[in-house]
Structure formats: C-alpha cells, structure tokens
Structure 1
Amino acid sequence: MRADKHRNKKRRRWASILIFFLLLVGGAIGYSYYQYNQGVNQSLKNINKDPEEAKVNYKFEGQKDQYGDTNILLLGSDARGDEPSRADTIMIAHYNEDKGTFKLTSIMRDSYVQIPGYGKHKINSAFARGGPELIRKTIKQNFDIDLQYYAIVDFQGFVQLIDEAFPNGVEINVEKKMSAYVDVPLQPGLQRLNGEEMLSYVRFRHDAIGDFGRVERQQKAVKAIGDQLVSIQNVAKLPKLLGVVSPFINTNMDTSDMLFIGKDFFSDERGNVDTLRIPIDNSFTEKRVAKDGAVLDIDLQKNKAALHEFITK
C-alpha cells in the first residue's frame, strides 16, 4: 500500500515536470512567433507594397558539401522599381554544425569563369541568366563546392536590420572619405553608422582599388555586425530580427533553419568569422574581353585549392 502511494506520488511529480516543460517550450515558441510577426509588420509599414508579391520562386537543387558543412549562397540585390534586380554581391557563408563555426567567402563579381550552358562570362551574369540555381551550378563546376541554401537580400532589408539591431549604430572605422556615388557620404574615423550609412560603406567602390576595396569592406562589416550582435546579447531578439528582414529576403531556408543557424552565429562561443576572397592574391590577371568588358581572368586551380583548404582547416 505504502509502495503504491510512493509510485503514484512519483508519477504525479514527473507529470508536473513534464507539463511545466511543455508549457515552457510552448511559451517560447509562442513568444518567438509573436516577435517574428512584430518584425514583419514593422518592416511592412516602411514599404509601399507587399514584397511577397514580387518574390520569385526559384528552383534550387542544393545539398551539403562533401565535408558535411552547410554552405549558404548570399546574394545582394538592388531592386529599383520595375527594373530587373541586379546581384552585385556574391558571398558563401560556411556553417559547421558540429563546431558551431562560421566562415565567409566573397567571390568577386567580375571573376571570369565557365557558366554551364553559356560559355565563359563574369560570374555575376549567371544570376540574370538562371537565378541562384545557375550560380550554384557555376560554383559547383568551377570550384567543386556544393551549396545547400540561397538567400537573396534586398539592400533595404540590410538597412532595416541594422537599424533594428543597433539603435545606436554599428561601430566601425571608416578608413577614408566616401562620397562618390553613395546616397550618404561618409567621413573617415571610428564612428557609429546607422543602416543607410552602413549601406554606403559596404557599397562604395569608386576609388583606386575599386571592387577589391568594396569586398574587403563587406567582409569587415559582416564581422563587425556579428561581433557586436554577440556583445549586446541579441539572441532573444533573433525572431524579431528575422521578421524585420523577412519581407526583403528571398530564400529557400525555413524560418526554423534560420533560427537554428542564427543561434550559433549569436553565440558567444562562436569565435572569429574567418574570411576569404576569390580570387586570392597572385592568382588572376585583369583584362578586357569583347563581350564582357573588364574581367578578372583567374587561375582556377589555385583558387579552387585555396577555397577547399579554407573550408577544411
């Protein structure tokens, strides 16, 4: 009799713990969903039309690479009214789930490579010819790396994200005066930049080093944003931040995928985000071709080897 009472008491205790756990999980999911929708609605107030109507449903046959990493193709798009979007930023975010680490590769848009079915052209022309799937195939053919996901981010989404995550701006050292062909001119020096100012910083390229400097600044900005997001404990804000950027992003990633990967990116155990630029130094020549203008004629084997070494080290 006494043993039966003990067992019943134990069962009730475990049932109470299970109910508490389920309520906790349910509350967390509900809070995340609420915050996500708050972010979406906040962004929709700042635009004149529903961006979901303009999103193209792209085919994308991606998978993890041969090393077990998740690679995400990141494309920066500048949509202007009814004009076709231009993809002028090409990056690959490498995520190792076991280590919880991230790396970032930038591929310069003028890299002259074989595009499947079209011959040799600048790599950024693959987007206009066949969307992110053709860029995926081009990277696979030239560098033998698989990409599992893609994310095309309108630059206005970048502005909204910065302003939401950093009300006081992102601290960054602007290395020179930047005024040509940018919406918001910048002066040199250590300062805090808001969303529009950060956009000017990552897009400026009208100086002696042109696109090389722009790629370097883009990588510097990603690292600064990542480091400062961790330092201000933004994990709790992750659902809202995803909601803020959602109207401006076209991706094959589920929200749950983004939350899962995002929690590691915001973790204070993430470590540094290592970066690579393709083409690497001393592996290309600048030349002009009749059909494409100025291009970077790259040593494919050198750059392919450098990319694989970067991912696996």
Structure 2
Amino acid sequence: MKNIIIVFLLAAAILSGCTSYQQKEDPNEVRQDSGADGVEKEGKKPSAIGNETKNFLLIGVDSRGEEDSRSDAILLASYIPSGESIKLVSLMRDSYVKIPDYEYMYSKLNHAYYIGGKDLLKDTIEQNFGVQIDHTAIIDFKGFTKMLDAIAPDGIEVEVSSAMIDDMGLELDPGKQKLKGSDLLSYVRFRHDGQSDFGRVDRQQEILIELKDEVMNQFSSPAGLARFPEVISQALKYVETDLKIEEAIALGVSFLMDPVTDIETLRVPITDSFENKTYEHAGSVLQLDFEENSEALKQFLKAEKE
C-alpha cells in the first residue's frame, strides 16, 4: 500500500455491496494480512494532519444512486501516520443499538443511516461504542464498480463456485476466473451457501488485499508517484466524503514517508458476546453484550493511541 486514502476508499468500495465485514476465522483473533455530503458541520475545523490517530467511518450503501438506502456495510478504519498498520473494525449491521432520538429507542445499527444519514449513524456508533470518528465516506454499487475498474482494469483472479455462478447469473465456468467491476460486485455480495455472511466477508477481505497489491504496484515507481495527486482526485469522485482533497493528499504523503505493512481486523460483536433475538419493530437482530464488545474494541484500538 502506498497511501492511506486509497486503502480508505478501497475499503469503502469493497463494502458497498456487502452486508458485513467479519473475521475469516475466529472473530476474536486479530489478523495481520499482507495485505458526506462533503459539507463540514458548522464551527468544526478540519482535523490537523499530524501523528495523532485518525478514525474513519466507511459506509457501504445498498443502492445504485437512489436517495433512500441502508448502510449494509459499516467499517471503522483507524490509522496513525507514524504507525505500521491500519486497524479495520467491522460493525455488524444487525447489531441492536440505541439510536439517539429514535421512537423505539433501539433498532438495527444500519437503520440509523436509513432514518438519519451518515450523521446519525456516526452519532450512534460514537455513543454505543465510545469511539471518536474523525471522517466519513460513503459509496454505493455504482461507485463500487467504477472504483474497481479504475484500480484493477484487468480484473482480479478469484475462485468461483457453481452455486455462485447460478445464483448471480454469471456466464463463467467454475474455478479460477478473472472478474471485473460488476462481476466482482456479484462475487463479494454472494451469500447463498452454507457460509452465508461469513463467506461473503471472507471474499471482502480477499478482494481488499488484492486491491491493496494493485495500489502498491501503481505507486512503486517514480512515474506512479508523480500521478499521486491525480489518482487521489479521481478516487474522490466515487466516494461521498467530508475529507478535503488537501487532507487526503497530506495523509497520502504521510503514508508514503511511513508505509503501513499490515492490516489488522476485528469484528464487532466478537464471538460469544451476542444473542440472536427478534423484535416486532426491528426483526432479527444481534443482541450485544455492550460491556464486552466495547472493551474488546477499546483494547484493539488502544495500541494505536499509545
């Protein structure tokens, strides 16, 4: 990886068509892989670019440009310019949380975005999990396919199953295949097998790492580095974010000076910290042990703040 904002935008892109971003194996285990509306709130100054931790809220929405949509993917990305890793936390969309000023008080986490947009979702996460969010980014299906085609125009090789081909209507043979934008969207959204959302999340992680490698290749040469500002500008066209282009470039320059080598991931809720419940107004939800999950999240992010 050669800059945080590209990884930041790629993460949002990958999550645009997906219900969640979880751990591949044991959700409690930290993995290390090699791997908006653009208007600031009144009176809030852009956060300075220094050595302090920056927390980004990445929101993938289930639309292709429609006004009404839900946040089917919710990810926190934590980055410190002098650090060696990016920390990614997946917040499950069906988590049963307290939504500020909501008539039923509690509902699914993704419902906060549906009724109040990015600001209400941000407030809900901050109040339920005790984390500070510095910037937000939103991307939908359309942005996903454009981003993927821009970063990996030749496609990405993946393992495609017969069930996936039949379900998504792909004109392919089972086995290793190179998929591009819209087909990659189908690939990461597939969940109609025994793995359900867990398999979907595995594929999200797989594609994120592959795209990270694509970005590395693009910026590994002097010619690639010279294209850096233009790439940032183009990437921002696909994402609705409150991050200014000057801030994005400053973060990228910082990243070039101190490259990150690892991506560490966590899923919330963690294993054995929730129950499956059903409520008339919300449907099937994940009833969280907030004390356990908040502590797990705090400990996971703690190293970045020391």
TM-score (norm 1): 0.71
Distance in 2 between residues matched to 1:188 and 1:78, nearest whole Å: 27
Indicate the residue corresponding to 2:21 in structure 1.
Answer: none
Q: How many residues align?
A: 257
Question: Out of 268, 272, 289, which is 2:279 matched to?
Answer: 289
Indicate the residue corresponding to 2:59 in structure 1.
Answer: 75
Change (3 A) 1:291 1:101: same
Change (3 A) 1:186 1:301: farther
Contact 1:102 1:273 in 2 (8 A): yes
Shift of residue 112, structure 1, vs aligned partner: 0.8
Distance in 2 between residues matched to 1:266 and 1:195, nearest whole Å: 27
Superposition CA RMSD, Å: 3.0
Indicate the residue corresponding to 1:121 in structure 2.
Answer: 107
Q: Deviations over 1:79-136 (max 9, x none)?
A: 3465513321111111111215312111111111111222110000000221111111
Question: Out of 91, 101, 105, which is 2:89 matched to?
Answer: 105
Deviates more, 1:302-311 or 1:214-223: 214-223
Distance in 1 between residues matched to 2:195 and 2:217, nearest whole Å: 32
The question of 1:309 aligning with 2:299 is answered: yes
Q: Deviations over 1:43-89 (max 9, x none)?
A: xxxxxxxxxxxx8466657979xx94101111112334655133211
Gaps of 5+ in 2: 1-35
Distance in 2 between residues matched to 1:183 and 1:236, nearest whole Å: 41
Change (3 A) 1:236 1:308: farther
Indicate the residue corresponding to 1:197 in structure 2.
Answer: 183
Gaps of 5+ in 1: 1-54
Change (3 A) 1:73 1:176: farther
Distance in 2 between residues matched to 1:172 and 1:298, nearest whole Å: 34
Indicate the residue corresponding to 2:31 in structure 1.
Answer: none
The question of 1:96 aligning with 2:83 is answered: no
Distance in 2 between residues matched to 1:185 and 1:141, nearest whole Å: 46
SS state at 2:60 partner: strand
SS state at 2:287 partner: strand
Shift of residue 262, structure 1, vs aligned partner: 3.7
Contact 2:143 2:238 in 1 (8 A): yes
Question: Out of 240, 244, 247, which is 1:254 matched to?
Answer: 244
Indicate the residue corresponding to 2:18 in structure 1.
Answer: none
Indicate the residue corresponding to 1:227 in structure 2.
Answer: 213
Change (3 A) 1:242 1:208: same
Amino acid at match of 1:276: L
**As a proportion of its length, which structure holds more helix?**
1
Deviates more, 1:55-64 or 1:301-310: 55-64
Higher relative contact order (CA 8 A, sep 6+): 2
Distance in 2 between residues matched to 1:267 and 1:166, nearest whole Å: 25
Shift of residue 228, structure 1, vs aligned partner: 3.0
Q: Deviations over 1:3-31 (max 9, x none)?
A: xxxxxxxxxxxxxxxxxxxxxxxxxxxxx
Shift of residue 175, structure 1, vs aligned partner: 6.8
Distance in 2 between residues matched to 1:167 and 1:57, nearest whole Å: 28
Q: Deviations over 1:259-296 (max 9, x none)?
A: 23345667893112111111111111112111111111
Structure with higher Rg: it is: 1
SS state at 1:258 partner: helix
TM-score (norm 2): 0.73
SS state at 1:199 partner: helix
Indicate the residue corresponding to 2:203 in structure 1.
Answer: 217
Question: Out of 123, 144, 151, which is 1:137 matched to?
Answer: 123
Question: Out of 147, 164, 175, which is 1:178 matched to?
Answer: 164
Distance in 1 between residues matched to 2:242 and 2:81, nearest whole Å: 19
Deviates more, 1:240-249 or 1:261-270: 261-270
SS state at 1:178 partner: helix
Contact 2:151 2:214 in 1 (8 A): no
Deviates more, 1:121-130 or 1:188-197: 188-197
